[in-house]
Amino acid sequence: MDKLKKVLSGQDTEDRGGLSEVVETPSLSWGTRIKGFIACFAIGILCSLLGTLLLWVPKKGLVLFIVFYTFGNIASLGSTIFLMGPMKQLKRMFEPTRLIATVVMLLCLVLTLCSAFWWRNKGLALIFCILQSLAMTWYSLSFIPFARDAVKKCFTACLA
């Protein structure tokens, strides 16, 4: 548990300059950060589930689903800021191993909302919502060692 705290709080890295240490290190206590993470993640899950339930509302159901589902994904993604701090989270999001997943995920978030409100194309919005979910899953798997490789091998075995 101590190693996890060190890695997530940024204490596991090499010696840094004073200013970068202040910017990158979260100022909240470990307990407060865990509570913030749990609360924000729970709100994200709740919004996603609520969006799924609102999908069945006549006429405005799909739009409500897209809004709540996208907000839920943003809240879930934002919950990790409590664990790592905003600067470290941004740096880790755009590391070479996560770059494509991050760009696709953020692009799908924006395109889902654009297709629902600007283009008013519900079919396209639903497609982007599915892509958003897949991209978020692939992005999340990048934080688990060897998870992406395991998923690739599983799909390869299933399709072969």
pLDDT digits (tens, 9 = 90+) for 90-119: 999 999 989 999 999 999 999 988 988 888
Nearest to 7 by CA among 85, 79, 75: 85
Q: Which amino acid is at 17?
A: G
Rounded to two decimals, the pTM is 0.72
Q: Which amino acid is at 160?
A: A
Mind listing the pLDDT tens digit for each residue in 20-54? 544 555 588 889 999 999 999 999 999 999 988 88
Mind listing the pLDDT tens digit for each residue in 50-80? 988 888 888 888 889 889 989 999 999 898 8
